[in-house]
Structure 1
């Protein structure tokens, strides 16, 4: 890895810790620079402002999450185990990096350039993983379905519905940690019932 790349990664990792602990609003570029003994000028050389660094940090975390998810799912023996693992991993990262994700709502509708696109890519990646698990289940004889792509779409739509049901009931723009736990419990129950219905008779 080039020296410049190492410095950039050090900044991103330091920012991730700060954003995860304090959120976007309460984190300053000065604090991030101090954490890694960099000058503030060097920080601004790599990232022109805090929002640009925030977007890059989100992207970095999504890449880490994606690699971790694939690695974990590859170790599961069945598609059903894989689906449950996906939900568990997602919940773990939400709890650990809650303040980082919550900052999206602090920014509001004016999301920085590229962030909305990255979030959509993350959702598409998750759908792709679910679809691959369904196809794996069909190939192994575990699951039976005619249209895995459509079943994936229905499954993902239902998860979104569970999320928004909690949000609307409690009138939160962004659920708190306890509400995310409620969401996970409902997602887990739904996944158990859904996957049981797909089991090959």
Structure 2
């Protein structure tokens, strides 16, 4: 099979898996169901992915890339750095709401070497996006900051911390529901308001 055809088939599998995972949940979806959706054999899926976890991981990488690309657009041609930072939070809310059945929150609990490295890269990418926005805010005369990178990292870390400020009755293996996500997003916006007021020029 030519590389182009292989890539096309892999993309089709990921799209079918994403559709299933988003609608029914990743844990409740079987490889047989994805194969049926594609009118192919289960063996065809295993040609591209050794197991469902590998497929799930590939789906998460695909949507994460789209998510970061959306955020990076906010850091380009910034007209208001404060507005861009609020837009980042809204993008995060929309993303998690759309893909909540992908069991994203459970992935945060995976401490395997691979996922630790992926989480490290994702954090750095988010730090870079925040740095670019804060630098733009300084250039626009909107913010007064001595070290944009350090300030951006502090903001991103504080925001990330709020993602895990969940009640004790929510188990680590559960995903966050819409009500809980709304509460976290509201806290993130409150934090951002305080933070922006603190760095205004």
Structure-1-length-normalised TM-score: 0.87
* RMSD over aligned Cα atoms: 2.2
Structure 1: tracts of 5 or more residues without a match: none
| 1:42 corresponds to | 44
CA deviations over 1:138-175 (Å, ceiling 9, x no partner): 1121111111122122212221332333x145444243
Report 1:133-144 matches (<5 A): 133-144=133-144
- For the 8 Å contact 1:23–1:102, the answer to whether it is kept is no
**Conserved 8 A contact 1:73-1:86:** no
Unaligned runs of 5+ in 2: none
Q: Give the total of aligned pairs.
A: 197
Residue number in structure 2 paired with 1:131:
131
1:24 counterpart (23, 26, 29): 26
Superposed, 1:142-181 pairs within 5 Å as 142-165=142-165, 167-173=166-172, 174-181=175-182
- Structure 2 partner of 1:193: 194
Q: Secondary structure at the match of 1:184?
A: helix
In 1, Cα distance between the equivalents of 2:171 and 2:7? 39
Matched residues in 1 for 2:105 and 2:164: separation? 18
Q: Which aligned segments of 4 or more residues in structure 1 are displaced greater than 4 angstroms? A: 107-111, 168-171
Q: Is contact 2:100-2:176 (8 Å) kept? A: no
Q: TM-score, structure 2 length as denominator? A: 0.87
2:35 to 33, 52, 62: 33
